[in-house]
Amino acid sequence: MKDVGSMIPNQYKITTSNVNVDYGNKRALHDINLQIEEKEVTALIGPSGCGKSTFIRCLNRMNDLIEGCKVEGKIMIDEVDINSPDTDIVELRARIGMVFQKPNPFPKSIYDNVAYGPRIHGLAKSNEDLDNIVTKSLKRAGLWNEVEDRLDASGLSLSGGQQQRLCIARAIAVNPDILLMDEPCSALDPIATAVIEELINELKERYTIVIVTHSMQQAARLSEKTAYFHLGKMIEYDITSNIFTNPKHEMTEAYISGRIG
């Protein structure tokens, strides 16, 4: 943790300092300090209820939607404080794509699902433009070959894994530079999970990815850095291989070896 923290802060994509989150009277996150590098996969692991989902939702201010949720502390993305009153939340969320635990395609056609973001942000000048964006996004999400002949079918007619890739396509269609993934594979079978993991490996060429996961193997396979959360505190944050082979904190070791969690 020390060697990560001592680097020059400017080169981090996301920097959080002393982030505290309260749900009503209950504190969910305590003083989270984390630096996330550009175009890397950062995994957040930890037992249920440890605050990793709460943390990832701070990064695009999704917690605003929850009644009684209060976020304190500083979250800098590209050196801009996203919690400052001047921040345009629409613009912020357009730059940060999010993929949720349960696939949540809109009850619209596959095409309209992907075109949703570009349409509300006016990204396409013409219909062909929009077609191109949809095609490109579906290709990047690895879904194009499976759906190219049925773009008019409902997004809900797809299988769970396809739906999740549709949600990824929908997120990258607005051209974000950060992708937040909140347990993207927890509702999927192993085969669909493998496909998504492969996709994440390709996507990190272009995007900074923060992924919350329940599966330690997934974190080990995918991420460059891993943060271990426990009861609302960040216990340890380091290069993934260090976390899994040589954890510095005994709680991390206990979790890794399966004694807690």
Q: b/e for 218-256, b at 16 or more Cβ within 10 A?
A: bbbbbbbbbbbbbebebbbbbebebbbeebeeebbbebb
Closest approach of other proteins to the CB of residue 54, in Å: 14
Asked whether 237 and 4 are in contact (CB, 8 A), the reply is yes
Binding mask 119-158 for other proteins (x = CB under 8 A): -xx--------------------------------x-x--
| 174 is an interface residue for other proteins by CB under 8 A | yes
Tell me, by CB under 8 A, how many residues bind other proteins: 29
Reading the block at residue 53, the tokens are 């989902």
Does 60 sit near other proteins (CB under 8 A)? yes
Based on the shown chain and the rule CB under 8 A, indicate whether residue 52 belongs to the binding site for other proteins: no
For position 93 contacting other proteins by CB under 8 A, the verdict is: yes
Largest CA distance in the chain: 57
Residue from 102, 206, 214, 249 touching other proteins (CB under 8 A): that is: 102
Query: How far is it, in rounded angstroms, from Cα 210 to Cα 68?
Result: 25
- Answer for which of 3, 26, 48, 107 binds other proteins (CB under 8 A) is 107
Q: Is 69 near other proteins (CB under 8 A)?
A: no
* 205 near other proteins (CB under 8 A): no
CA angle 24, 29, 35 (to 5 degrees): 140
Part in contact with other proteins (CB under 8 A); list of ranges 22-30, 58-66, 141-149, 246-254: 58-66
Q: Is 67 in the site for other proteins (CB under 8 A)?
A: yes
Number of other residues whose CB lies within 10 A of the CB of residue 84: 10
Please give the Cα distance from 34 to 187 (Å, whole number): 27
Question: What is the distance between the alpha carbons of residues 112 and 104, in angstroms, rounded to a whole number?
Answer: 14
Task: Find the binder of other proteins among 46, 117, 142, 232 (CB under 8 A).
Answer: 117
The residues in 26-45 that bind other proteins, with binding defined as CB under 8 A, are none
Look-up of token digits 């990190």 = 204
Q: Could you say which of 97, 142, 184, 247 contacts other proteins (CB under 8 A)?
A: 97
Q: Which residue has the tokens 């570009």?
A: 118
Which residues form the interface with other proteins (CB under 8 A)? 60, 62, 65, 67, 90-94, 96-98, 100, 102, 104-108, 116-117, 120-121, 154, 156, 167, 170-171, 174
